[in-house]
Amino acid sequence: MSKYSWIIAAICPALLIGSVIFYFLKGYCLYLKIKKDPVYVKAKIVNYIPGSPNNMGKVDIAITYTFTADNIVYTKGKENLTIDTRDLNKDHIGKEVPIVYYRKDPNFCKIDIYDESLRN
């Protein structure tokens, strides 16, 4: 057993580091794809789940939103958005949030966190 224990000790951290790198590369590829030909629209919140607030008075909410592109309705779920706890009652079902998506394939979309309507 001791002869092969170094393999287990080397594989576990390598898999962990590899999965973190894969996660970041996936997000960066999405960013690059949207950056090529972006479309900025407003989407409606369909569902949201607030998380626990932190010491700074911020809370993460996981929202599900819908938007229309080329007469087709798209739904994207479990997008995280960080807001102040005092603004929690402002985010409700039916509220519009700014999103950006790739013109050729609207399935590649994300919340436009740089929009003025999300800044306090």
Integer Cα distance of 96 and 34 in angstroms: 20
At 5 the pLDDT is 82
Confidence of residue 24 (pLDDT cuts 50, 70, 90): very high
Rounded to an integer, the average pLDDT of 100-120 is 83
Question: How far apart are the two ends of the chain, measured CA to CA in Å?
Answer: 58
Burial of 37-46, coded b for 16+ CB within 10 Å and e otherwise, reads: eeeeeebebe
pLDDT above 70 coverage of the chain, percent: 98
For the segment 41-85, what is each residue's pLDDT rounded down to a tens digit? Answer: 999 989 888 888 888 888 888 889 999 988 899 998 888 888 887
Confidence of residue 15 (pLDDT cuts 50, 70, 90): very high
Rounded to an integer, the average pLDDT of 22-32 is 88
Spans of all domains in the chain: 1-36, 38-118
CATH number of 38-118: 2.40.50
